[in-house]
Chain A
Amino acid sequence: MAGERLLDVKNLEVSFYTYAGKVHAVRGVSFHVNRGETLAIVGESGCGKTVSVQSTIKLIPMPPGKIEGGTVLFDGKDLTAMSDRDLQSVRGAEIGVIFQDPMTSLNPTMTVGRQITEGLIKHQRLSAQEAKHRAIEMLSLVEIPNPKERFRQYPHQFSGGMRQRVMIAIALSCNPKLLIADEPTTGLDVTIQAQILDLMKSLQTKLDTSIILITHDLGVVSKLADRIVVMYAGKVAEAGSSEDIFYNALHPYTQALLKSVPRLHEETKRELLAIPGTPPDLFVPPKGCAFAPRCSYAMRVCLDHQPGDFAAGGSHTVACWLMDPRAAHVRERHAGRAGDAGARGGAS
């Protein structure tokens, strides 16, 4: 089964129509997820990673959001062409979602048990009793102690980490083929983060689910991801296997991102590196490469023309003019610095 594409997103375009004008949040994004693998989508806040992924099952608020182009093939079905009613049988049943903030993602006035059984009764047509049985099973699967008692409790009786486990139980209850984890550990403290990540990893092998992991935390990515997509300003900057990105980052943005990860064991004390400048305003998307104004390697072409995706061996693609054969001499000139950065990034 491995290698076969489960989700294939091509040229996705999403905009938000606000009072202040149109925000072009996702500008032609393509990515895919193979069966059984974990794809990480990385980028800073507002780069469109959440919108890209949530748009695939139309979870973004519409309006103001609007999917303006592209196709989303999931298990052979085109999700963009499906009506909301038809999508209901995909959401929760074939694609499960975990959100960022476990403190607010559960309904405060409904028992945890009922929030799990809801989906089971709807999608798998279980009786209330069967659903309860299955829900308790799920609660013990996500390692919540006393699942029978916990089934009857309300979300406020759970800690943050426990609530995220409940969210995972809900998302996985119907055996989905794909799990979307949207910053699943951002709202949790570090020790709990590690537990949740371990849990996701073990459940993935147990249940044979593909995962899309959305995060800005490169540490999380290194733990789970098979392949990585780096997004910047509504576009894919670089995509490749985990090794490609961590050991052979070619896009200046990816390199800068890797360099700005704080490290505990560094011989010489140095200031934490930050990427100068701010991401572009997507009310007025830039004409050329969106990263050019912040890029220390920017050329004249970068400001006026958008780079295409250049293949860099295997599944590794880079959207950067430096990869153009005609820019070979520029690349060589920077090679020392860039190579150095790549190696240091890989050491994390």
Chain B
Amino acid sequence: MGRYILRRFGLMLAALWVIVTATFFLMHAIPGDPFLGEKVTEAIRQNMLRKYGLDKPLWEQYVIYLGNLLRGDFGTSLKMLHRSVNDMIRDGFPVSALLGLEALAYAVTLGLLLGTVAGFRHNTWLDYLAMFVALIGISVPGFIMGGLMQYVIGLKLRWLPIARWEGFRYTIMPAAALGLGTLAVMARMMRTSVLEVTSQDYIKTAKAKGLSQREIVFRHVLRNAILPIVTILGPLTAGIVTGSFVIELIFGIPGLGKYYVQSIFNRDYTLILGTTIFYAVLLVFLNFLVDVAYGIIDPRIRLMRSRE
């Protein structure tokens, strides 16, 4: 297991290097530069480019950037004066992560619950109801649901605050809107998975042993049914905790999500790289965690690793 983890770690670093390099050069391949849109004279523009080292040959910029990166320095934003990218991530990420984790908590608990119920009571009204909810979750985008919730729950019923980020009550609606799609995916996958597992031979074996329905469900079905869900949990988590531009925008949440989109429009090179690398690290690391978790749940995978 130790050697396996070490090898996976090495692969993780290699993957990250590829991502950094590809992003760096692709970004510079986009026409324009950070200061093109500003109404300044050509001389000032050249001065600014020099200040940020953007006048140097591309490969030199790349080497300098890599050097800074190794020291954990993402550089300063080219657009927001005196703000370092590290600061922006440090400020924005906890908010996005909190929102995301809350959304994930809703999505996982409710999604698995809905999916499990639908699977065990399939082709009954409970199943149809759960799958109807899932269908809505998949087909209605989060920002429409967010807007609707703001109108109905916030404005008409006045149960929850409409926007801003000032306490737990403020997080419920955006988290629900953000998690809805994931919830739907979870519910549908879990339903399929439960249906598949319940038709397996070993479930019949468990029944033939004289176990009660409850014992069969908790000991034999759920553990096997949850395996495929764990696989997608890593990428889903990374996606959801790094924030959603639209949800953060309509609920007025000071998260990380908005920086992604803004940085691209602004050609804010350091911010683009910083947010992308940050997202990549998170994604790769969570995938790694999922792999480890998978090994704990499924003994077959554990064995394959110990053979490596």
> Quick check: which of A38-46, A115-123, A303-311, A336-344 contacts chain B, the rest being far away?
A115-123
The number of chain B residues touching the other chain, given as a range, is 20 to 34
Expressed in whole angstroms, the Cα–Cα distance for A101 and B213 within the complex equals 23
Considering the complex of A and B, which 8 residue pairs feature the smallest CB-CB distances, nearest first?
A: A92-B210, A91-B210, A97-B208, A92-B209, A104-B201, A154-B299, A107-B202, A119-B209
With A99-B201, A104-B200, A104-B201 as given contacts, are A109 and B299 in contact (CB-CB < 8 Å)? Answer: yes
Expressed in whole angstroms, the Cα–Cα distance for A330 and B260 within the complex equals 91
Counting CB contacts under 8 A, is A145 at the interface?
Answer: no
Expressed in whole angstroms, the Cα–Cα distance for A90 and B224 within the complex equals 26
With A91-B207, A110-B219, A157-B303 as given contacts, are A105 and B212 in contact (CB-CB < 8 Å)? Answer: no
A90, A99, A111, A157: the one within 8 Å of B205 (CB) = A99
Instruction: Enumerate 22 A-B pairs (CB-CB under 8 Å) in ascending A order.
Output: A59-B208, A84-B213, A87-B210, A88-B210, A88-B212, A90-B210, A91-B209, A93-B210, A96-B208, A97-B208, A104-B201, A106-B202, A107-B205, A107-B206, A107-B220, A108-B298, A110-B219, A118-B211, A119-B210, A119-B211, A122-B209, A170-B209
0/1 string, B175-212, CB within 8 A of A gives 1: 00000000000000000000000001110111111111
Contact B209 A118 (CB under 8 A): yes
Counting CB contacts under 8 A, is A85 at the interface?
Answer: yes
Determine how close the nearest CB of chain A comes to the CB of B221; give it in whole angstroms: 10
Expressed in whole angstroms, the Cα–Cα distance for A52 and B274 within the complex equals 67
Counting CB contacts under 8 A, is B300 at the interface?
Answer: yes
Counting CB contacts under 8 A, is B169 at the interface?
Answer: no
Contact A59 B204 (CB under 8 A): yes
- Contacts beyond the supplied A84-B213, A118-B215: 5 A-B pairs with Cβ under 8 Å: A91-B208, A92-B211, A109-B297, A109-B298, A156-B300
Determine how close the nearest CB of chain A comes to the CB of B80; give it in whole angstroms: 51
A57, A88, A108, A109: the one within 8 Å of B211 (CB) = A88
Contact A106 B205 (CB under 8 A): yes
Expressed in whole angstroms, the Cα–Cα distance for A300 and B292 within the complex equals 70
Determine how close the nearest CB of chain A comes to the CB of B306; give it in whole angstroms: 12
0/1 string, A62-93, CB within 8 A of B gives 1: 00000000000000000000001101111111
In chain B, what residue has the closest Cβ to A60? B204
Contact B303 A92 (CB under 8 A): no
With A104-B202, A107-B220 as given contacts, are A154 and B209 in contact (CB-CB < 8 Å)? Answer: no
Counting CB contacts under 8 A, is B223 at the interface?
Answer: yes
Counting CB contacts under 8 A, is A167 at the interface?
Answer: yes
- Looking at B200, B205, B220, B298, the one whose CB has the most chain A CB atoms below 10 A away is B205
> Which A residues are CB-close (under 8 A) to B205?
97, 99, 105-107, 115, 167, 170
Contact B210 A107 (CB under 8 A): no
